[in-house]
Structure 1
Amino acid sequence: MKIKLLLVIVVTLFTVNASAQKGFPFDAEVRQFKHQDSLQMPAPDGILFVGSSSIRLWDDLEKRFEGKPVIKRGLGGSELWQWVDYYTPYVLFPYQPKKVFIYAGENDIASGRTAQNVAGSFEKLWTMIHDKLPNAEIYFLSIKPSPSRAKFLNEVILANNLIKAYADSKPKTRFIDVATPILNEKNMRPDSSLFKGDYLHLNSKGYDKWEKVLKKYVK
């Protein structure tokens, strides 16, 4: 069993390195994940968090859900379509998780992709996960309305609505609203006190809000 696992890791590392030579985005970060795995591979049936910087920068994610088999694999700056085209075989499938939490799509919209593009990427990603890991539960964390990206708010809302409608139609799939809890109740705009100074990434108080929502699903 150990020999088989070692072979899987070696093959994965070789494939990632080969892809990197072709311009594989975030190749250094992916190789670092694989190095970590070569030292201690997380056990199957874990709870995997993947996505962009809102996952990568959640420094105390594992501590907040202490005792749960949480695996954090965020790639800051990554876009949802890139998880479809690049990362899933290397940063998702090898862990054979029982639950997959996804936060991505915000960077796609900021780079000019439409809500329909983002929803289409999620549909492709869902199919990939469901085909490879049919027993896995899939959770999509809603795209947050960041103050520094206020001009994209309408596209964010539309993308969330499209993804929720799709998720609601699929088995073992749930759309989790982590956007509403970070709104100011008075004006229903993003509460800037929950963000870091860049008004893009959540601070500890912002993650408190997310933790409260996610607690019942991370089990």
Structure 2
Amino acid sequence: MKILLSLMLALASCAACAGSGHAQWNAAIAAFEASDRADPPPQHAVLFIGSSSIEHWKSVAADFPEVKVINRGFGGSELSDSTYFADRIVAPYHPRAIVMYAGDNDLWDGHSPEQVRDDFAAFVRKARAVDPGVPIAFIAIKPSVARKALLSQIRQANRLVRAYAATQHNVAYLDVFTPMLGPDGQPQAKWFGDDGLHMNRSGYALWIGIIRPWVDAHGR
């Protein structure tokens, strides 16, 4: 009994540790829930989710006026954060389709390209546990000026995610990476704000042109 009790306590401790890394986002997720209570979002909308490139996309509803849209980006987050909180910011909406941007911060924090792919696959499984077959698109990790040192890892992560997506039904890889590069194959400052990391309107306009056909096909 003592051994069994020790094992149970150890497992409980491990579970708590697993969630502790996501605790920094509790306030952001609670704010989403409060907003949902005050102004319930539409069911079966296109859910945009992920890190700061989604959070900063304040005009996303206006940019895709032909569909209902929900923005649940929280800046600084990693792929596993969206998976961890999916029960609170994915499942309640029963989205018609999901557009995800994340992985940028993962690589910056030292995760491998393989882990980025695996974490995206885990998100797909979690989302489809609630809504089987929901279409999901992964926006390629952008080649930002601020994270130019990560360019080789970004290329590899994107290749791995694209290869994974090709094996799945209704999982798409949307290549914003290639057109954001200059003729020399390097990041271009023209798509970004002063920090070289977050996009300006020109950057989002480029994204819209690439994302819209997929949203039109799956979001109506």
Q: TM-score range by the shorter chain?
A: 0.7 to 0.9
1:29 aligns with 28
Map 1:129-148 to 2 at 5 A.
129-148=127-146
Aligned counterparts of 1:157 and 1:132: Cα–Cα separation in 2: 31
SS at match of 2:99: strand
**For residue 196 of structure 1, what is the amino acid of its counterpart?**
G
Aligned counterparts of 2:148 and 2:21: Cα–Cα separation in 1: 35
> Which of these two proteins has the greater Rg computed from alpha carbons?
2
Aligned counterparts of 1:22 and 1:203: Cα–Cα separation in 2: 30
Aligned counterparts of 2:22 and 2:208: Cα–Cα separation in 1: 35
Aligned residue-pair number: 199
Deviation per residue, 1:51-75 (Å, 9 max, x gap)? 0000000121111112420110100
Specify every segment of 5 or more residues in structure 2 that has no aligned partner in the other structure, as ranges: 1-18
Report the TM-score when normalising by structure 1: 0.86
SS at match of 2:58: coil
2:14 aligns with none
Map 1:90-101 to 2 at 5 A.
90-101=88-99
Aligned counterparts of 1:110 and 1:178: Cα–Cα separation in 2: 19
Aligned counterparts of 1:128 and 1:140: Cα–Cα separation in 2: 15
1:25 CA displacement:
2.2
- Which residue among 198, 202, 206 is the counterpart of 1:205? 202
1:11 aligns with none
Map 1:23-102 to 2 at 5 A.
24-84=23-83, 86-102=84-100
Specify every segment of 5 or more residues in structure 1 that has no aligned partner in the other structure, as ranges: 1-19
1:100 CA displacement:
0.3
Aligned counterparts of 1:129 and 1:149: Cα–Cα separation in 2: 29
1:116 aligns with 114
Aligned counterparts of 2:212 and 2:21: Cα–Cα separation in 1: 40
- Contact 1:147–1:199 under 8 Å retained in 2: yes
Aligned counterparts of 1:121 and 1:36: Cα–Cα separation in 2: 27
- Contact 1:29–1:75 under 8 Å retained in 2: yes
1:131 CA displacement:
2.2
Aligned counterparts of 2:194 and 2:62: Cα–Cα separation in 1: 24
1:8 aligns with none
Deviation per residue, 1:23-63 (Å, 9 max, x gap)? 62222211111111102222221100000000000121111
Against the structure 1 CA distance between its residues 23 and 122, is the aligned structure 2 distance closer, same or farther, given a 3 Å change threshold?
Answer: closer
Which of structure 1's runs of 4+ aligned residues deviate more than 4 A?
Answer: 20-23
Aligned counterparts of 1:54 and 1:212: Cα–Cα separation in 2: 16
SS at match of 1:139: strand
1:167 aligns with 165
1:22 CA displacement:
9.1
SS at match of 1:49: strand
Report the TM-score when normalising by structure 2: 0.86
- Identify which of structures 1 and 2 has the higher relative contact order when contacts are C-alpha pairs closer than 8 Å and 6+ apart: 2
**For residue 185 of structure 2, what is the amino acid of its counterpart?**
M
Aligned counterparts of 1:109 and 1:203: Cα–Cα separation in 2: 22
Aligned counterparts of 1:104 and 1:34: Cα–Cα separation in 2: 21
